[in-house]
Chain A
Amino acid sequence: MIWSEVETYSREKIEQIQLERLKETVKRVYEKVLPYRKKMDDAGVKPEDIKSLKDLSKLPFVTKQDLRDNYPFGLFAVPKEELVRIHASSGTTGKPTVVGYTQGDLDTWTECVSRIACMGGATKNDVSQICFGYGMFTGALGLHYGLENIGSTIVPSSTGNSEKQIMYMKDFETTLLVATPSYALRLAEIARSIGVDPTKDLKVKIALVGSELLTEAMREEIHKCWGEDVLVTSNYGMSELMGPGVSGECEYLDGMHINEDFFIPEIINSETGEVLPAGEQGELVITCIKKEGLPLIRYRTKDITRLIYEPCKCGRTFVRMENLSGRSDDMLKIRGVNVFPSQIEEVILSFNELGPHYEIVVEREGYLDKLTVKVELNVETDSFKELENIANSVKSKLRIVLGLDAKVTLVSPNTLQRFEGKAKRVKDLRSK
């Protein structure tokens, strides 16, 4: 089901809405947000200069650093009294980034997530269990409001107490699961350990996964654990922009439709900042055109993707962004080679002899970077030859995919760390 008629508007009509909203937003931030006005003045651009969508590229970028520099409310376009909600993303370094919502923003957010939930197959008949951590993180509440808005029954089970999660799933007959891809796998693992087979004993038919990138191999792995008939879609967002609901996959699983009446996407060369032609891969930059509290303009997401303008079989006309191939700041440079952890994940998941959990360690030995991939053994064997064969095949496949030699370490099942939120599987021990 398509939630809103807007999702099927002609390109012309979408662009007309975008331009109108862009002009209004730029004018508003110029008037109300001092750091923006300064940035625009420095770049020599005035709100009147925005006459077409192409003029967007004249505007300066905003980065996470700008949010930190103006902590907590410096980039907000409304007085604090007008905010009805504050969220924050945990900063791994220094201050967190703070985001605020007016009532209008919450309504927009709910609308965006409602659309994405429908794309992923949700209906009012679903029982939706939200296994994202509730709290300052936007993921859980974002999905919560959207799924409630379409009329599904919410089970706000959050993360943790995983055995109880399985009990709820069974007793409430949960049909829709919201989780990170890695927590979805973890929950299936726990279900099995207490004698519940997710493919037979549970009724989950829809998985809306987000907050981590979903590789095709990971999607397959989720199918293996939860059943082939489960519709697994990924959705995308970040708290700076709103939270989940920026884009989501429809049932054709070929990229995530961006809610273009609220967000304008651009793809840039992340080194030069130059806007790339349609269809090329680069860093995603998003401009919020209907936000009241924190309307970020040309926000650099650091996510690497590609935009697909070709029409989608589902009937929606909104542009699609390819499922992420990585984040520019997740990218590891090992012996001069660019490596995305997702590439390593794809290799690991292609081996039935290995479990889906892994750990990547990068160290420096003398002057050389050393890459170690730790994987859990998923076979029972009494043969050194077989163990060696497994390690060697993983090694040679990694060499083909990455162009690098890695050390492969086999460990016992259930020994690597499990994650309930965003998985942190990379340990870069090189001093920067």
Chain B
Amino acid sequence: MTCKQLSVFIENRKGTLSKVLNVLSKSGVSILSMSLADTTEYGLLRLIVNDPDTGKKELSNAGYSSLVSNVLVVKIPHVAGSLQELLEKVEKEDINIEYMYGLSIENDDAYVVFKPSDAEKTSELFEKDGIVTLTPEDLLKMKL
């Protein structure tokens, strides 16, 4: 199952990040996980939130460029090498992982957000192999 991720273009200027976060919190959008990658001039803030569509709408009203795209939130078993195993599986199918980041929640399980070149195909692949991916409903139930 795929989940929606909200990505925001931010300029590397003092205060931009907090302004973006402020827009989200004001509109009741809460963040489950985030990753910030940047160059010297701008960055992309990638977020897993409870309500990505509202987040995008509010950000656009506030003058930010954002995008909602599909990602996979995958449960990683607590066994050494399990992430590597997962990656190999995906690569075999000629799917690229564009980036990934961790999702930290208040239990013992580890989760990773995957952005594969083909989210649907990866989702099917994982389902077939019994790898657990979270649904949007699961995310809503998560405790931060």
Which residues of A line the B interface, CB within 8 A? 377-384, 387, 409-415
Contact = CB atoms under 8 A, between A and B. Distances in A.
B61 to A, nearest CB: 8
Contacts of B67: 380-382
Given A412-B9, A412-B10, A382 B65 contact: no
Contacts of A415: 11, 63
A158 B106 CA distance: 58
Contacts of B44: 382, 384
Contacts of A380: 65-67
A173 B2 CA distance: 48
Given A381-B65, A410-B11, 18 more contacts: A377-B9, A379-B65, A380-B67, A381-B67, A382-B7, A382-B46, A382-B67, A382-B69, A382-B115, A384-B44, A387-B9, A387-B42, A410-B9, A412-B64, A412-B65, A413-B64, A414-B63, A415-B63
Contacts of A379: 65
A412 B7 contact: no
B63 to A, nearest CB: 4
Interface of B is mostly: strand
Interface string B49-81: 000000000000001111101000000000000
Contacts of B42: 387, 410
B63 A412 contact: yes
Nearest to A391: B41
Interface of A is mostly: loop
Interface in B23-50: 37, 39, 41-42, 44, 46
Contacts of B7: 381-382
A413 B39 contact: no
Contacts of A387: 9, 42
Contacts of A410: 9, 11, 41-42
B15 to A, nearest CB: 12
Contacts, number: 42
13 contacts: A380-B65, A381-B9, A382-B5, A382-B46, A382-B115, A384-B37, A384-B39, A409-B41, A412-B9, A412-B11, A413-B63, A414-B63, A415-B63
B20 to A, nearest CB: 10
Interface residues of B, number: 19
Nearest to A381: B67
A380 B7 CA distance: 9
A381 B43 CA distance: 11
B54 to A, nearest CB: 16
A102 to B, nearest CB: 49
Contacts of A378: 65
Contacts of B39: 384
A103 B83 CA distance: 86
Contacts of B9: 377, 381, 387, 410, 412
Interface of B: 5, 7, 9-11, 37, 39, 41-42, 44, 46, 63-67, 69, 98, 115
A365 B44 CA distance: 29
Contacts of B46: 382
B32 to A, nearest CB: 17
A381 B39 CA distance: 15
Contacts of B115: 382
B71 to A, nearest CB: 10
A393 to B, nearest CB: 16
Contacts of B11: 410-412, 415
Nearest to A382: B7
Nearest to A380: B67
A377 B65 contact: yes
B69 A413 contact: no
* Most chain A CB within a 10 A radius of its CB, from B7, B9, B63, B69: B9
A412 B63 CA distance: 7
A425 B63 CA distance: 20
A387 B39 CA distance: 11
A382 B5 CA distance: 10
A413 B60 CA distance: 9
Contacts of A383: 98
Contacts of B10: 412
B96 to A, nearest CB: 12
Nearest to A414: B63
A387 B42 CA distance: 9
A378 to B, nearest CB: 8
A319 to B, nearest CB: 46
A24 B99 CA distance: 79
A381 B9 CA distance: 8
A372 to B, nearest CB: 11
A381 B63 CA distance: 15
A380 B6 CA distance: 11
* Most chain B CB within a 10 A radius of its CB, from A379, A380, A409, A410: A380
Contacts of B65: 377-381, 412-413
A243 B57 CA distance: 44
* Most chain B CB within a 10 A radius of its CB, from A387, A409, A412, A413: A412
Nearest to B64: A412
Nearest to A385: B98
A121 B115 CA distance: 54
